[in-house]
Amino acid sequence: MEILDYDLVILGSGIAGLTAAIHASKILGDDRKIAVISKLHLMRSHSISAEGGISGVLYPDKSRDSFDLHGYDTAKGSDYLADQQAIETLVKNAPNEIRFLEHLGVPWSRDEDDDIVLRAFGGMSVKRTAFAADKTGFFIMRALYDTILGIKSIDRFHEHFATALHIGKNRFIGLSAIDLATSTAKLFRAPACIIATGGHSRMYNFTTTSHSATGDGTALAYRSGLPLKDMEFVQFHPTALVPSGILITEAARGEGGYLINSKGSRFMKNYAKSVMELAPRDIISRAIMTEIDRGRGVAQEGTGMKHVYLDLRHLGREKLDERLPMIREISIKSLGLDPVEEMIPVRPATHFTMGGIHTDVNGRIMSQDPKRPTEGLWAAGECGCVSVHGSNRLGSNSLSECAVWGRITGTAAAEFAMANGVEKEAAKKMAEDSEERINAMIDGNGQNDPYLIKEEAQKAMEDHMYVFRSRKGMLEAKKRIAKLKGMYSDIHISDKGKTFNTNLRDTLEIGNLLDLSQVTIECAINRKESRGAHTRTDYKKRDDRRWLKHTIARAENGDIVISYLPVKITKWKPMARKY
């Protein structure tokens, strides 16, 4: 086992992780060292897949926007489950982060006055989403990655898979990882750590997310006894390409696209008449599935997948090439259809996980006591539930969250590291135990194929934990996942090699997904209401009297222990959510 000592460890290399590294380096200076660890090449984070844009109040006079209006939209979009202190932090800091990214070199799309163009997004009262065509995530990632290449204090660990989070006496002391190139076990010791590993949408197969979105950091925190929050809330993006699940950005509707059923009707007039295709994602996803369930969908030839259409033809070639060039390219390459001339087949796919590691408003990860922080440990981005999205995220708020809490956590973790040292011996013993566990998995002679377990687990989630849910269905999903979890304890890793053992990596990811699927189902069964992305057919209404509270879940002696915390309301009182 190789031991490496750092001042700060950052697990994850997306927008949140790289932003945190940049701001931490300003405090730590050249004499201190930061490790950025990713199971991929750092530039291959799922953040590069973000298409539509990043929200912020950039031109309040020109756009008739304000922090309060952005905050109200976010609170309403969250179905009033978001903590409003977090919302206020988001909306007040997002504009500065957009300008900071501009200074790093992000080529925002601009108008004839050289102002950053703002486009419409669902649930937003005014246009407030900045973008770089429909490749916003890629351009942000390129600017951040190019920046860290020039910072001497940052060491980059590509293709290192984290296997254990080490906590002693309520304090972070280290992180174990495998160098995938050589299978070398490594222990990263540091006084401070930021987890920024993204979401866990690969619990499902039909998803807009990359195959790397397996919730690794969230699962590590959970297995360390740390609490997770609001795991029942999984967002389904309304417009994923059929049959691949590739994201068709909300910007396509923001630029004026229509949703059309098999009868040729713009059906959103029956669900959100005032905003039509620019309703929040949970509302549109329910609308599409209702149209399909009532026989107004279209069965795709060959796959049989039922869908509706996204119609962009009226926008014209010039606008598509300027504002949505990648969507046109994806449609042509994937299906051989040109959206200039034909409609795009779409249906809801898993896209984002509102739930994650339980943090306070500053991104500090809370301890086994969900009201007390764990020293030296933060989470930023999709893996951390701060909670700014509540039960439903508004499109383009996610990149703002990554940028805002990337700075907050990077700054706070660096300041903590400056004042604290490394606990060495306890971390070493924990890392040795982790290494033994991984070696036992490789050397074992289990009977079960991990890939078949993954396939069956994803099917259970899609069958019973999709846009609409019921107690009966969720109990069946719970039963199926529990059986698969038992099978996982007797898995067979066929590749015993040391060089890029992707079989081992995949198997570890599957274990993470099984744990998070179990927690998601348990939290969903317990929430007896419909709110945001959690829609139950047996409890059809939102119930503020009983359920205006966050679900907290943690592991204890092999069981999932559920408790609750109140939602923090500051300005925007819960009301009927109509569009």
> Could you tell me the residue ranges of all domains in the chain?
237-350, 444-543
Q: Which CATH architecture has domain 237-350?
A: Alpha-Beta Complex (3.90)
Token pair of 302 as six digits: 């060959």
The one catalytic residue among 253, 389, 505, 577: 253
Instruction: Of 97, 76, 65, give the one whose Cα is nearest residue 402.
Output: 97
Quick check: is 237 catalytic? Answer: yes
**What residues contact 429, with CB distance under 8 A and at least 6 apart?**
none
Quick check: is 253 catalytic? Answer: yes
For residues 516 and 231, what is the distance between their CA atoms, to the nearest angstrom? 8
Torsion of CA 516, 518, 521, 527, to 10 degrees: -90
Asked if 363 and 504 touch (Cβ cutoff 8 Å), the reply is no
* pLDDT at residue 485, as a whole number: 97
Helix (H) or strand (E) holding 54: strand 54-55
Q: Do domains 237-350 and 444-543 have the same CATH topology?
A: no
Rg (CA), the chain: 23
Mean pLDDT, contiguous 10-residue spans, the chain (579 residues): 96 98 97 97 95 96 95 98 98 98 97 94 96 95 97 98 95 96 96 98 97 97 97 97 95 95 97 95 97 96 95 96 94 96 97 98 94 96 98 97 98 97 84 91 92 98 98 98 97 93 97 98 98 97 98 95 97 95
Rounded to the nearest 10 degrees, the angle between the axes of helix 502-526 and helix 450-464 is 30
For residues 290 and 467, what is the distance between their CA atoms, to the nearest angstrom? 10
Q: What single letter denotes the amino acid at residue 547?
A: W
Asked if 497 and 503 touch (Cβ cutoff 8 Å), the reply is no
Helices (H), 384-501: 397-419, 425-443, 450-464, 471-488
* pLDDT at residue 422, as a whole number: 83
* Sheet strand arrangement including 184-189: 2-5, 184-189, 172-179, 160-167
* pLDDT at residue 428, as a whole number: 87
Rounded to the nearest 10 degrees, the angle between the axes of helix 84-104 and helix 136-149 is 70
For residues 458 and 436, what is the distance between their CA atoms, to the nearest angstrom? 29
* pLDDT at residue 429, as a whole number: 87
Asked if 70 and 384 touch (Cβ cutoff 8 Å), the reply is no
**What residues contact 487, with CB distance under 8 A and at least 6 apart?**
448, 453
Classify burial at 501, counting beta carbons within 10 Å of its beta carbon; exposed 0-12, middle 13-18, buried 19 or more. Answer: buried
Neighbouring CB atoms inside 10 A of 463's CB total 12
Write down the CATH number for the domain with range 444-543: 1.20.58.100
* pLDDT at residue 427, as a whole number: 87
Instruction: Of 62, 82, 64, give the one whose Cα is nearest residue 74.
Output: 82
The one catalytic residue among 70, 142, 237, 328: 237
Residue 554, phi-psi category: left (phi > 0), alpha (psi -120 to 50), beta (remainder)? beta
DSSP letters spanning 515-538: HHHHHHHHHHHH--S-BTTBEESS
For residues 565 and 85, what is the distance between their CA atoms, to the nearest angstrom? 15
Q: What is the pTM of this model?
A: 0.96
